[in-house]
């Protein structure tokens, strides 16, 4: 565990450096220091290795099945791995791979799909990936003329094309989007992609509604078409100005009604289904701090964080060194539970705390990040479980039967928590927050933590030369239990990018120049930082 008392003192001295009219976010690494080229190259080789498997067995399909040596289309059939992973290849300087990815993207008809398209994945993976690749290729990172200009322009064209076909989803009385759309008929619906369709279902996840402002603000700026920003603003207005009382100030429910614009429940927290709504409030402000609407987003985020620290933060029984953010039930009662998705909160709190010069928020972010790291070094596989619960400070659990399990009690006595879902799906959120901790404090301990996770991933998922990578069934078992036959596109977009950027020169995709969407796709900050002034 990191010595948090020491970190608190350091954090206070390392908060944002402010000139009269700009802010410096990232730790001031001395020129040429802060990277590790040997480790960065090792991560780059992992990208090449897994990409070769994808190119051989699944090129053009959405995802790789590494054990079956096949591909699958579960994200609209546009080649999600290619679009989601191209900006990582750009950052790594893999010009041969990027060239083939650009050619594929330029050949795809993004106005058509044989599948129902969901707004959330279309936004964060496709539109976010396309805009990020466009920004990065047109930056100082890539020498002019490296790639075919027509194929580079096709990135922005594709992002615009997809966005235009999503617009009918927002034709609701509240302005909130329906969840899915048929691109051929332009018919939007709120059917759950997993459950049978229920046309009467008018509820949509908070994260679906609140995870589009960053991408569509950027698209409006690149195209000089304000329609995307305006749709995003109308949607966001429902989320940050709810015409109803909340149990805790600014702690919202997990879904909204597209007809009324009101939250349908009080299930709160920073977990999946809500997570990236909070994430984008501060990130869109960092992207464009002079935009009046983003000031409102920032203010709502500050209120959310204050309520989180006051009402949701929890220290497990006899483990005061751990700080988790609890979920709540519909009555606002803490469930003393957290999932992997919520571990993004540490990095988000660090970014916002640094930008707003708030040492309390920054310290809270470090505590949450360090606690999510503890999930790695207490598991047999060296990787984090997907979900966990804990006994609260008075030794109580939300679910009474959990306390009757000797296994839960024994695990909690050792680790401070007990595992409720032991699967490892390569979700990147704990690594993401540790990366922010490194880039914002300069403390190399975070690099070591991330390298340990990288080595554990290779050991557990690459058990023989015929397997590119695989998800794991149970991290409480040595090597993570059984292998799962799936490589998600975000393995290329997020996992490998955060690993690589941890060891690349810190000036590569600096946090003073870029802000990241929830899928780890960086776009150019417009103003506010000294690097953009």
Handedness of CA 416, 309, 519, 508 (dihedral sign): negative
Please give the C-alpha separations between residue 274 and each of 40, 204, 423, 431, in angstroms, as whole numbers: 33, 11, 21, 20
Answer for the pair 132, 521: CB distance below 8 angstroms, yes or no.
Answer: yes
**Hey, how many other C-beta atoms are within 10 angstroms of the C-beta on 28?**
12
Distance CA 26, CA 421 (A): 35
Distance CA 423, CA 333 (A): 26
Distance CA 503, CA 46 (A): 14
Distance CA 218, CA 288 (A): 9
Write down the H helix ranges in 60-148.
80-92, 95-107, 119-121, 128-137
Answer for the pair 499, 454: CB distance below 8 angstroms, yes or no.
Answer: yes
- The DSSP H or E segment spanning 11 is helix 4-13
Measured between alpha carbons, how far apart are the two ends of the chain, in Å?
38
Please give the C-alpha separations between residue 230 and each of 217, 259, 270, 294, 359, in angstroms, as whole numbers: 9, 19, 26, 13, 34
Distance CA 350, CA 361 (A): 7
Query: In this structure, what DSSP letter does residue 90 have?
Result: H
Kindly report each contact of residues 294-301 with a partner whose C-beta sits within 8 Å and lies 24 or more positions away, as own/partner: 294/217, 296/240, 297/213, 297/236, 297/240, 298/356, 300/240, 300/250, 301/352
Residue 518 assigned to a binding site: yes
In 3D, which of 102, 211, 228 has the Cα closest to residue 162? 228
**Annotated binding-site residue numbers for Ca(2+):** 518
**Annotated binding-site residue numbers:** 518
């Amino acid at each position: 565990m990191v010595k948090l008392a020491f970190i608190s003192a350091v954090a206070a001295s390392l908060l944002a450096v402010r000139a009269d009219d700009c802010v410096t976010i990232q730790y001031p690494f001395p020129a040429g220091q802060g990277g590790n080229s040997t480790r960065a190259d090792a991560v780059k080789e992992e990208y090449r290795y897994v990409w070769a498997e994808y190119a051989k067995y699944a090129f053009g399909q959405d995802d790789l099945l590494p054990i079956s040596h096949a591909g699958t289309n579960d994200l609209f059939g546009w080649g999600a791995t290619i679009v989601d992973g191209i900006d990582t290849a750009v950052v790594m300087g893999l010009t041969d791979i990027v060239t083939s990815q650009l050619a594929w993207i330029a050949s795809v008809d993004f106005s058509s799909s044989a599948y129902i398209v969901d707004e959330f994945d279309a936004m964060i993976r496709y539109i976010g990936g396309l805009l990020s690749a466009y920004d990065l290729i047109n930056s100082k990172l890539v020498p002019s003329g490296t790639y075919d200009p027509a194929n580079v322009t096709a990135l922005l064209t594709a992002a615009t094309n997809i966005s235009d076909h999503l617009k009918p989803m927002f034709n609701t009385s509240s302005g909130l989007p329906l969840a899915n759309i048929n691109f051929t008929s332009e018919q939007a619906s709120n059917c759950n992609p997993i459950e049978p369709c229920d046309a009467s279902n008018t509820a949509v996840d908070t994260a679906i509604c609140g995870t589009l402002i960053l991408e569509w603000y950027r698209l409006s700026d690149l195209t000089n078409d304000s329609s995307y920003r305006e749709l995003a603003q109308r949607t966001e207005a429902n989320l940050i100005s709810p015409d109803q009382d909340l149990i805790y100030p600014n702690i919202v429910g997990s879904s909204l009604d597209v007809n009324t614009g009101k939250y349908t429940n009080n299930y709160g927290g920073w977990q999946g289904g809500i997570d990236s709504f909070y994430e984008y409030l501060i990130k869109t402000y960092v992207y464009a701090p002079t935009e009046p609407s983003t000031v409102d987003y920032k203010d709502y985020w500050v209120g959310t964080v204050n309520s989180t620290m006051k009402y949701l933060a929890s220290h497990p029984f006899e483990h005061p060194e751990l700080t988790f953010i609890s979920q709540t039930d519909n009555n606002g009662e803490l469930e003393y539970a957290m999932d992997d998705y919520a571990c993004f909160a540490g990095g988000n709190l660090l970014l916002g705390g640094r930008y707003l010069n708030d040492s309390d928020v920054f310290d809270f972010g470090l505590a949450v990040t360090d606690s999510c790291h503890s999930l790695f070094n207490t598991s047999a596989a060296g990787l984090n479980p997907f979900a966990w619960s804990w006994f609260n400070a008075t030794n109580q659990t939300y679910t009474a039967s959990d306390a009757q399990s000797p296994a839960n009690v024994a695990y909690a006595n050792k680790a401070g928590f007990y595992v409720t879902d032991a699967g490892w799906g390569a979700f990147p959120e704990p690594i993401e927050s540790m990366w922010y901790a490194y880039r914002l404090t300069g403390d190399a301990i975070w690099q070591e933590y991330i390298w340990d996770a990288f080595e554990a991933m290779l050991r557990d998922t690459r058990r023989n030369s015929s397997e590119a990578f695989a998800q794991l069934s149970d991290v409480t078992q040595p090597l993570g239990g059984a292998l799962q036959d799936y490589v998600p596109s975000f393995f290329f977009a997020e996992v490998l990018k955060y690993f690589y950027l941890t060891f690349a020169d810190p000036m590569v995709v600096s946090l003073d120049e870029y802000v990241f969407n929830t899928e780890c796709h960086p776009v150019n900050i417009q103003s506010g930082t000294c690097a953009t002034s």
